[in-house]
Amino acid sequence: MRVAISTSSFAQYGREPLDLLERAGADFILNPHGRKLTPDEVVELAAGCDGLVAGTEPLDRSVLSRLPNLKVLSRCGVGMDNVDLEAAEELGVLVRNTPLGPTRAVAELIVGLAMDLLRQVTRMDRELRAGVWKKRMGNLLQGKRVGIIGMGRIGVAVAELLTPFDVEIGYADPVSTVPGYTKMGMEELLPWADIVSLHCSRTGMDCALLDRQRLVSMKPGSWLINAGRGGLVDEEALYDLLSAGHLAGAAVDCFCEEPYQGRLRELDSVILTPHIGSYAREGRVRMEADAVSNLLEALEKTK
Ligand code: 8YV
């Protein structure tokens, strides 16, 4: 049995997932580039493999159809927007993901980013290193209205972690209803919230969920956090609204194009991180072990 691991970093904080593969008698090959692979690189890496432990690289029909031996695609992560699920089904490839590992890691990151935005920690750190000693006035999290878009596992974890800060929590979700928090439509939530945080998938969306019009409808002086998915936010419109001061700040962890090279890097009111929502060691180790167990369990089914 041959397994390719295309996710950009794997087993760096514990050998457990590789031990699991070895014990199952699998030959495995790791992503040699340490970055997100291109479609051709995925095909090259996974040629002849029965299983793939995948990251966020594109796994569309053109890639999957060039991997005729592939039986199982196991995402090391929760988001499935990079996988063409229809093509996988048609091609007889079983698909799995790891919904539990990233939850707490992303939720804790959101709390940190919210605090950082409100107190401008990263901005003053940058200034101080550049020789500028300037005390910027911040804001309290207490009393703020937090609007969560997408109230799945991660959205709920964010709401639970923020509740002790004495904030008001509203959420928009087309499917879930979660008792204890105020459900509202997106058009109502955006002008209402002081802080908006995105926790939904991009699957099935052709354009940004927060397009220019919706970003304009956000409350003046509010903050946006996107550690959900790149492409949920129109990055050009976000740049314009931050530059114009309509939005006070934004924290962006996921981008349309990764690695991100765009203009948001010019703005002091933005915190930028390289898609590290799930990069808390404890959660990551669990995700990797889950991804391998899911892969082995599914491969067993195909026998
Ligand atoms: C990446 C994520 O998948 O869970 C997700 O959907 O975006 C991240 O956890 C992961 O870092 C890639 O291996």
- Whether 297 shows a pLDDT value over 90: the answer reads yes
In the annotation, is 75 catalytic? no
Quote the strand ranges of 8-138, DSSP E: 27-30, 51-54, 72-75, 94-96
pLDDT digits (tens, 9 = 90+) for 231-254: 999 999 999 999 999 999 999 999
Mean pLDDT, the chain, rounded, equals 97
- Stated as kind and residue range, the H or E segment containing 134 is none
Confidence class for position 98, pLDDT limits 50, 70, 90: very high
d(CA 288, CA 294): 10
* 206 pLDDT above the threshold of 90: no
Average pLDDT over residues 136-161: 98
Query: 116 near 122, Cβ under 8 Å?
Result: yes
Residues 29-67: pLDDT tens digits? 999 999 999 999 999 999 999 999 999 999 999 999 999
pLDDT the model gives residue 205: 86
Taking the C-alpha atoms of residue 23 and residue 229, their distance in angstroms, rounded to an integer, is 35
Q: Given pLDDT bands bounded at 50, 70 and 90, which one contains residue 26?
A: very high
> What CATH class has 103-272?
alpha beta
Q: Which of 13, 278, 281, 290 to mutate to test the pocket of ligand 1 (most atoms within 8 A of CB)?
A: 278
What's domain 2-101+281-301's superfamily in CATH?
A: NAD(P)-binding Rossmann-like Domain (3.40.50.720)
**Every domain of the chain and the residues it spans:** 2-101+281-301, 103-272
| 275 in catalytic set | yes
The residue to mutate among 78, 95, 98, 295, having the most atoms of ligand 1 within 8 angstroms of its beta carbon, is: 78
pLDDT for res 78: 95
Q: Which residue has the tokens 């919210």?
A: 114
Q: Could you tell me if 203 and 191 are in contact, meaning their C-beta atoms sit under 8 angstroms apart?
A: no
Q: Whose CA is nearest to atom 9 of ligand 1?
A: 77
128 CA distance to ligand 1 middle (Å):
33
Tell me what the mean pLDDT of segment 274-288 comes to: 95
Reported as a single tens digit per residue, the pLDDT across 67-91 is: 999 999 999 999 999 999 999 999 9
Contact 98, 76 (CB under 8 A): yes
Confidence of residue 203 (pLDDT cuts 50, 70, 90): confident
CA of 97 to the centre of ligand 1 (A): 10
What does pTM read for this prediction?
0.95
Beta-strand runs (E) in 49-112: 51-54, 72-75, 94-96
Atom 6, ligand 1: residue with shortest CA distance:
79
**Domains 2-101+281-301 and 103-272 fall in the same CATH topology:** yes
If one residue of 76, 110, 200 were mutated to test the ligand 1 pocket, choosing by the most ligand atoms within 8 A of its CB, it would be 76
Residues of the chain with pLDDT > 90: what percent?
98
Q: Is 51 in the pocket of ligand 1 (CB under 6 A)?
A: no
- For ligand 1, atom 8, the nearest C-alpha belongs to 77
CB 59 within 8 A of CB 82: yes
- Please indicate whether residue 214 is annotated as part of the active site: no
